[in-house]
Amino acid sequence: MSERSERTDQLSAKDPSPLWEVFVRARRGLSHTHVGSLHAPDAELALRNARDLYTRRQEGVSIWVVPASAITASSPDEKDAFFDPAADKVYRHPTFYEVPDGVAHL
């Protein structure tokens, strides 16, 4: 249902029926969202099973399936270095910029 731990990644390589991650787009215009995972021998069966498993109640209009082994995840240990917005780059935010009084639609 979520990101794999590394231990599962190793196991799934030997698994006769590989693991697939499933992404569903709920409606036109929305993005695909991860909804879970399943085992299937190949992509086509993964797609059919995902249809039956995750879209039985009008949950979506488009499905992606991806072999779990094809996904590389960031590690929680490097979360800080990886994701901290650089505090010295405040100019990346629109709020950094001063708008003179009286300017509309900006």
Partner 1 sequence: MYGNDFAAPEDGPGGGLLGEVEAAEAALREAAARARRGGPAPDEDLDGYFTDVIDADQKIEPRDWMPEAYRKTLIRQIAQHAHSEIIGMQPEGNWISRAPSLKRKAILLAKVQDEAGHGLYLYAAAETLGVSRDELVQLLLDGRQKYSSIFNYPTLTWADVGAIGWLVDGAAIVNQVPLCRCSYGPYARAMIRVCKEESFHQRQGYEILHTLAHGTPAQKAMAQDAVDRWWYPSLAMFGPPDGDSTHSAQSMAWKIKRFSNDDLRQRFVDMCVGQAEVLGLALPDPELRWNDERQAYDYTQPDYDELMRVIKGDGPCNRERMAHRRRAHAEGAWVREAAAAYAAKQKNKEKVAA
The binding site for partner 1 (CB under 8 A) comprises: 1-8, 11-12, 15-17, 19, 26-27, 30, 35-39, 41-42, 45, 52-53, 55-60, 73, 75-77, 79-80, 84
Output 79 or 90, the one with its CB closest to partner 1.
Answer: 79
Pairing of strands 62-67, 19-25: antiparallel
Shortest distance, CB of residue 96 to partner 1, whole angstroms?
Answer: 21
Output 84 or 98, the one with its CB closest to partner 1.
Answer: 84
Output 2 or 105, the one with its CB closest to partner 1.
Answer: 2
Residue 74: exposure state from Cβ atoms within 10 A (0-12, 13-18, ≥19) = exposed
DSSP state of 79: H
Shortest distance, CB of residue 48 to partner 1, whole angstroms?
Answer: 12
Q: HSE (CB half, 13 Å, CA atoms) of 39?
A: 9
SS3 for 74? coil
